[in-house]
Chain A
Amino acid sequence: MDYSKILSKKAVGLKPSGIRKYFDIAAKLDNVISLGIGEPDFKTPWAVRREAIKALERGKTVYTANAGLIALRKQISEYTRERTGVEYDPDGEIIVTVGGSEAIDLTVRALVEPGDEVIIPEPSFVCYKPIVELTGGVPVVIDTKEEDRFKLRAEALKEKITDRTKLLILPYPNNPTGAVMIKEDLEPIAELLSGTDIMVLTDEIYSELTYGLKHFSVISLPNMKERTVYVNGFSKAFAMTGWRLGYMCAPKEIIKQAVKIHQFGIMSSPTVSQYAAIEALRSCEEDVANMVDEYDMRRRLLVDAFNRLGLNCFMPEGAFYVFPCIKSTGLTSDEFCERLLYSKRVAVVPGTAFGESGEGYVRVSYAYSREHLKTAVEKIGEFLEELKSGDR
């Protein structure tokens, strides 16, 4: 069969994730020291795992309500209110999804018409553009810059707003840059949007992982609840990536559409995971605090190490990545990563995997033990030395 005639053009047109390419190379090499992983190295807190075992023992193996267990939605409502001061009705304003990723997909599908423009600050997580393209929406990219600490600025946003702008994506704390947006950064953006019909998707999956400052959500600003879809999840904060559980909170009208799409595509999120997640929100504050402390120390170690090596590295304030600048080597991000991988067996991800504005940077994950990071940094040091002597 000639599949090229059969396959959907939209699907074929999707570019695979730029991270994946390096995984494929790394998988063929022996003894690779990876700094490429985007998920916690911690195990899910024991209390959460125990709840899952209990749920299985009690035979909790059937579908839940489409929007998720009401007990979990109540807990999400409570947890969100404590952190943001914003109240979401568990019955109608919250849906439990298969990871934060599904929540992003549902939001875009519930809001975006073909031809609608979706503004995406970059560098940012790899999924926004493809999801927008699948709905026929038009991604409009804003390049954020290191001088601005990779924050979205209202002036840059203003330039990109047109009559077709439907949605702004706010990916903070940011993967891959580690940038955060504080209240003062968000206020001018909220002001710019006020009086328009532009919606906001705030992807706050890393909200618990901030260092030296408390995360501030855009929904906490006046009048932002009505125009915002708030996405969060369990993967990063509670080291629960494999449980596939996230959630979105939004005005009833939007959740109503999202629940329909979710019902037909997914039915309901994993039941055992949902029971366990109630415990995560209820009792794991200390586990999260311990993980944050450890990430914080690794972050400081890496930033210090890269600056010493002459790779200028800005101090990220969230997530678990550092984003050193490699322009001083004269290599492109892709060349840097490929040569580092082949010559030193160290895997990092090129900044360009997260948008063109990532050129000149690489993403280094610190979801690894300190010993592992130390070994990797030594290898990167050797690599840079060899680069220098090779130039002579």
Chain B
Amino acid sequence: MDKLLKLLRTNARLSNAELAVMLGKTEDEIKNTIAELERTGVIKGYSTVFDEDVVSKDYVRAIIELKVTPKAQVGYDDIARHIAQYPEVESIYLVSGGYDLSVTLRCRSLKEVSDYVAQRLATIDGVVSTTTHFFLQKYKESGIMLISEEADERIMQ
């Protein structure tokens, strides 16, 4: 992957000056490249990875495996687009294997997840079945470790 994007992916707050030094470019070159990546839609947005448990315990995350019957002409896109519009949906992917769509939900309670699945997802025309997996513990996200790393055991010699 492009070195600039790789850096931004793990830390979008690096300043243009820092990026310029690390990549051996000028600040202006970095500024223009990022502007271009944003304009052409390569960069879709910037987010923050943080330990949500510290801030609040009042949320539940789940992955829903959906089996669907693709529609004529539009395939899976129509159903995926429909599901993607709900604010509870954090991500949605078409995947290979035993099911078709993988949907990540973030809700306030177990009840909210089950209501959402039962009332919103299962009722969509073309959805054949759903399987819900609740998240128990998060270890790594967007390439960033959320658990503390081991101590540095190296010694000077």
Mark A residues whose CB is within 8 Å of B: 17, 19-20, 22-23, 26, 34, 36-39, 41, 293, 297-298, 300-301, 304, 347, 349
Those of B117-157 within 8 Å (CB) of chain A = 152, 154-157
Residues of A within 8 A of B23 (CB): 297, 300
A369 to chain B, nearest CB (A): 9
List 6 contacting pairs A-B, 8 Å CB cutoff, sorted by A: A19-B157, A37-B154, A37-B155, A41-B154, A293-B3, A349-B156
Interface flags for B34-50 (1: CB within 8 Å of A; 0: not) read 00000000000000000
Contact across chains for A38 and B156 when beta carbons are under 8 A apart: yes
Query: Does B28 belong to the interface (CB within 8 Å)?
Result: no
Residues of A within 8 A of B3 (CB): 293, 297
Contact across chains for A301 and B157 when beta carbons are under 8 A apart: no
Contact across chains for B21 and A20 when beta carbons are under 8 A apart: no
Question: In the bound complex, how far is the Cα of B156 from the Cα of A293, in angstroms?
Answer: 24
Where chain A touches its partner, the secondary structure class is helix
Interface size class of B (residues with CB under 8 A): 10 to 19
Question: In the bound complex, how far is the Cα of B23 from the Cα of A304, in angstroms?
Answer: 12
A151 to chain B, nearest CB (A): 22
Those of B1-23 within 8 Å (CB) of chain A = 3, 7, 18, 21-23
Question: In the bound complex, how far is the Cα of B68 from the Cα of A250, in angstroms?
Answer: 65
Q: Which residue of B lies closest to A43 (CB)?
A: B150
Contact across chains for A37 and B22 when beta carbons are under 8 A apart: no
Q: Which residue of B lies closest to A17 (CB)?
A: B157
Contact across chains for A301 and B156 when beta carbons are under 8 A apart: no
Contact across chains for A301 and B154 when beta carbons are under 8 A apart: no
Contact across chains for A19 and B21 when beta carbons are under 8 A apart: no
Q: Which residue of B lies closest to A25 (CB)?
A: B156
Question: In the bound complex, how far is the Cα of B157 from the Cα of A39, in angstroms?
Answer: 10
B16 to chain A, nearest CB (A): 14
User: Which 9 A-B residue pairings sit nearest by Cβ, starting from the closest?
Assistant: A23-B156, A297-B22, A36-B156, A304-B21, A37-B154, A300-B21, A19-B156, A300-B22, A39-B154
